[in-house]
Amino acid sequence: MSDIVEILNIQRITHDVKLFKTNKPADYDFLPGQATEVAINQEGWKEEKRPFTFTSLPEEEHLEFVIKSYRDHDGVTKKLETLSIGDELLIDDAWGAIQYKGKGTFIAGGAGITPFISIIRSLQSKGEIKGNRLFFANKTGKDVILESYFSDLLGKDFISVLDQEVKVGHKYGRIDKNFLKENVTDFSQEFYVCGPEGMVKAISLSLEELGANPEGIVFEK
């Protein structure tokens, strides 16, 4: 049975990403990194459920989702862009395998950053952010979600990587085996990987080949 939540605020994060803030149903709970199935509470859209990650903290009195719109096809994310404050969403129970297991390196591609937002915010609130790093891959500088937040919080432990633009403050290229070899000194730590399926598979394989424990690589299976 889905819960109905009302959109309380909408904030543009990048050219194709918005933050949606909604009320939170009584007794609704989730863990940082988890997601839920979301649908739009309008005729013709109620059965169109898509997974989105919570970017708020479990203890907060509202829910937040950071959602990238794919405007090249008429799907849920394109429809979400047209919604306004007061419109409603349908959400199911929380689920998800990406959970924090200890200090390590977060590796995200594009919208794959979303499970890490809640986890990193949770670590920040507990004063436990030190010792964690973030590698974030995007096409261009304008695609980097919450760049200033991550940069201010993590400093040199935040590395932004662009593969279609050379820009000051960002590395150019891809997060591949060579990048990992150059930027990671300890492969016994935890690794958290989220992004397009091909990227997740390739990075997980590279990490294992470089000596990471397969049990220490966390990704959505």
d(CA 140, CA 38): 28
Burial class of 31 by CB neighbour count within 10 A (0 to 12, 13 to 18, 19+): middle
Residues in contact with 106: Cβ distance below 8 Å, sequence separation at least 6, in sequence order: 116, 119, 120, 132, 133, 134, 135, 192
d(CA 42, CA 92): 16
- Reported pTM: 0.94
Q: Are residues 161 and 208 in the same domain?
A: yes
The answer to whether residue 96 sits within a structural domain is: no
Tokens of 57: 């903290």
- The answer to whether the beta carbons of residues 137 and 174 sit under 8 Å apart is yes
d(CA 186, CA 191): 11
Structural domain boundaries, residue 139: 104-218
Range list of H helices, the chain = 76-80, 114-126, 147-154, 177-183, 197-209
Total domains, the chain: 2
d(CA 189, CA 198): 23
Distance of CA 213 to the CA centre of its chain: 23
For residue 162, pLDDT over 90 is answered with yes
Q: Are residues 113 and 20 in the same domain?
A: no
DSSP structure string for 122-134: HHHHHT--TT-EE
CATH number of the CATH domain containing 214: 3.40.50.80
Residues of the chain with pLDDT > 70, as a percent, come to: 100
Interval 75-84: pLDDT, tens = 999 999 999 9
Q: Are residues 110 and 71 in the same domain?
A: no
Interval 44-75: pLDDT, tens = 999 999 999 999 999 999 999 999 999 888 89
